[in-house]
Structure 1
């Protein structure tokens, strides 16, 4: 098939929808791939809702996501854990997915601190689920994205390259004593959490589901926690609280330090993700990718220049002793 996949192309290939009147509309978000709500009516007049996710191969070709086939597989595996939406149809030739529609409220950054219990629970379920078929390493992803910027002459925020040696030191420290790798999402901005319930209203959610497996892969579980903290712009005490809720009695100061350094590394790496998106794709014209890159780097710079950075590096690197990690 040549040219972009249309919604009608995708829906025509779904047996579940054959012969049923359908209406569709684009859903908010979707900075890379295209996501639509699809409403179909059955013979009894009952309306059912679904989510159609059309994957853009150019995204993975630019280093901004895993290959479409891998995302299709990982989305199915995440559904097996009970955290991801059920996969109702896979159209690998397009590529596209039809998913169950998750009723509830999409969280925003301001909601995350009040929902760390259900968010941590959802992460534990994903991390305990079936292993993905690929691995993800945030240090390698940063190097890949920086190389893309250099090859294409893409602008990065002022001061980025000058701080590379410090970022590399953080990466080496995290690599010294890594926890066992588990299936991770690796892109846990608030909008990828759906609060359970008919409308998600009425206070903190009792449960959370996780969507969008564009960057998923087996990884250090503390990266998912650090990424959550980065996207919600957590303070150190909030990072400690998230770590404690996730690890329970296994929580250690070394694990808190890992989460805080992964927060920093998330911001430093996704700075480049937005720089590449701005320079090569701009999938959503209404979104300011360049400003987002600048904001990510502002947050990373704050933590790179914080007086406690050395102590965090020492804690995760086990300077003088091996740090206590969960079994």
Structure 2
């Protein structure tokens, strides 16, 4: 990342923060502003006032290239709160694309929490089901269409594409066609459940970050999460049983298929981010890690077995 570009981005962000604070009455008595690391598409801050603490999200320029609908994000953040799993929306500055929610006094989860404490599965799936049973979200999150959009943009802009990536698409499309032939009921989904988008306050699990939220299949939500956490097949089976309340092989294979499709698609997200994001992060390495996991599944017999099982149980 070019240092001059980073310095300019930081200066512009500082100006946006000052402007936002001046326009939101609840932030009038701000006492402290604390940057929060970890955001891959936004600048995140904790804002402390004399009375309360808040979480501020500043969208980085160019996020529209990732097909993020900020209006839907605002609406769905409100609806996730109504569902009982999302933080309360405090303010939304549409023109500046700045979102402010109430601060959660809770522990951010990490990948290790899922592998070290499988007993947490039931708490996680309870929160996910609660979200899925809540008010419908604005927008339809169609991942096959989104990943094709990302690939088209990467090709037309000459962004980095791993060798063999385009040739592998036909295998991904084969999985997508089987899934589309017997669609699940659409439910309100977060669609970007990283480990860090769960927070545990000791009593309940909260789900944060609704940038990619929209109506979608529960099995995509599960499959995408299992890919982000790098679950083993046994862990996927346990997680699916926890969510659905019983062992359903068809749901396991569907989640596994979505996991592979998601990993393949997010590779192009990383390629776009590498060129448009002012955030200092190694997006290429992040994307290549996903790509290598896809290659492994495509060459070790996993894909053929998955395709067979998906066809038989769909």
Say whether the fold is shared (TM-score over 0.5). yes
Post-superposition offset of 1:49: 1.1
Shift of 1:52: 0.8
Aligned to 2:53: 49
Output the CA distance in 2 between the equivalents of 1:112 and 1:220: 22
Aligned to 1:263: 259
The equivalent of 1:80 in structure 2 is: 82
The residue that corresponds to 2:269 in the other structure is: 273
CA deviations over 1:265-297 (Å, ceiling 9, x no partner): 111111111111112x13311x10000110010
Q: Does structure 1 residue 283 correspond to structure 2 residue 278?
A: yes
For residue 287 of structure 2, the aligned residue among 290, 293, 296 is 293
Q: Secondary structure at the match of 2:38?
A: coil
Within 2, Cα distance between the matches of 1:316 and 1:243?
15
The 4+ residue runs of structure 1 with deviation greater than 4 A are none
Contact 1:255-1:316 within 8 A present in 2 as well: no
Answering whether residue 239 of structure 2 is matched by residue 242 of structure 1, we say yes
| Pairwise CA distance, 1:57 | 5.0
Is 1:26 the counterpart of 2:35? The answer is yes
Tell me which residue corresponds to 2:299: 305
Residue 216 of structure 1 is matched in structure 2 by 213
Could you list the per-position Cα deviations for residues 90-149 of structure 1 after superposition, in whole angstroms to 9, with x for gaps in the alignment? 222222121011112111111123222111111101111111110011111111100011
Alignment check: 8 A CA contact 1:131 1:182 kept: yes
Q: 1:216 to 1:111 in 2, by over 3 A?
A: same
**2:137 is equivalent to residue 128 of structure 1:** no
What's the C-alpha RMSD, in Å, of the aligned pairs?
1.6
- Measured at CA, do residues 188 and 68 of structure 1 come closer, stay the same or move farther in structure 2, by a change above 3 Å? same
2: CA distance between counterparts of 1:57 and 1:214?
A: 14
Q: Runs of 5+ in structure 2 lacking a partner?
A: 1-11
CA offsets per residue over residues 1-39 of structure 1, 9 Å max, x none?
Answer: xx6561111111112223x14311211111111110000
Match of 2:177 in 1: 172
2:164 to 154, 159, 164: 159
Equivalent residue number for residue 200 of structure 1: none
Normalised by the length of structure 2, the TM-score is 0.90
Cross-structure match for 1:15: 25
So what's the TM-score if we normalise by structure 1? 0.87
Structure 1's 306 and 127: CA in aligned 2 closer, same or farther, altered over 3 A?
A: farther
Contact map agreement 1:182 1:221 (CA 8 A) in 2? yes
Distance 2:44 2:278 in 1: 12
* Gap change, CA 1:31 and 1:92, over 3 Å in 2: same
1:90-101 correspondence to structure 2 within 5 Å? 90-101=92-103
2:296 and 2:310 mapped to 1: Cα distance?
A: 20
Cα contact 1:66–1:216 (8 A) shared by 2 = no
Distance in structure 2 (CA, Å) of the matches to 1:158 and 1:221: 32
Where do 5+ consecutive residues of structure 1 fail to align? Answer: 43-47, 198-205
Q: Residues 170-209 of structure 1 correspond to what in structure 2 (within 5 A)?
A: 170-197=175-202, 207-209=204-206
